[in-house]
């Protein structure tokens, strides 16, 4: 079975500091995408970053970057220079190419930003 595991239900970080959210997944497929989504209090799902499994280079989007370890099936999100607006629930997600395209979500990590 395909699973996505986020082992940290909640995390806190001081404003302007760096925080890393963990995610591991289990799959026997070779072609897939990994995502981090942010869900703020408004509950609108926002795509933070995307990683194609065939790419070795880690994706980066401004203050957000990932550490993708394919062999270890690990996909962590690093947020640099944390801002108050980063406070949200973060979901790690997995999507298989050419296979019904359903996204499998982890249970989420609630991130608190301390001023």
Query: Would you count residue 75 as binding another protein (CB under 8 A)?
Result: no
The binding track of 7-26 with respect to another protein, each residue x by CB under 8 A or -, is --------------------
Among 21-29, 61-69, 80-88, 94-102, the segment contacting another protein (CB under 8 A): 94-102
Residue 108 touching another protein (CB under 8 A): yes
Cβ atoms of 16 and 84 closer than 8 Å: no
Q: If binding is defined by CB under 8 A, does position 44 make contact with another protein? A: yes
How far is Cα 94 from Cα 11, in angstroms, rounded to an integer?
A: 22
Question: Does residue 114 touch another protein according to CB under 8 A?
Answer: no
Return the residue of 60, 97, 112, 114 that touches another protein, per CB under 8 A.
97
CA torsion 95-100-103-104 (nearest 10°) is -90
- Among candidate residues 81, 104, 113, 83, the one with its CA nearest the CA of residue 6: 104
59: which DSSP letter? Answer: P
Contact between 102 and another protein per CB under 8 A: yes
- 4/105 Cα distance (integer angstroms): 6
Contact positions vs another protein (CB under 8 A): 33, 37, 42-46, 50, 91, 95, 97, 100-103, 105-108
């Amino acid at each position: 079975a395909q699973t996505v595991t986020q082992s940290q239900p909640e995390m806190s970080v001081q404003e302007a500091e760096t925080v890393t959210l963990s995610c591991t997944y289990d799959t026997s497929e070779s072609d897939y995408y990994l995502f981090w989504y942010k869900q703020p209090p408004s509950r609108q799902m926002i795509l933070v970053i995307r990683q194609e499994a065939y790419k070795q280079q880690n994706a980066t989007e401004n203050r957000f970057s990932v550490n993708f370890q394919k062999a270890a099936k690990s996909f962590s999100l690093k947020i640099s220079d944390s801002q108050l607006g980063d406070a949200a629930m973060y979901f790690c997600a997995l999507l298989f190419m050419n296979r019904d395209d359903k996204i499998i979500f982890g249970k989420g990590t609630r991130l608190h930003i301390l001023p």
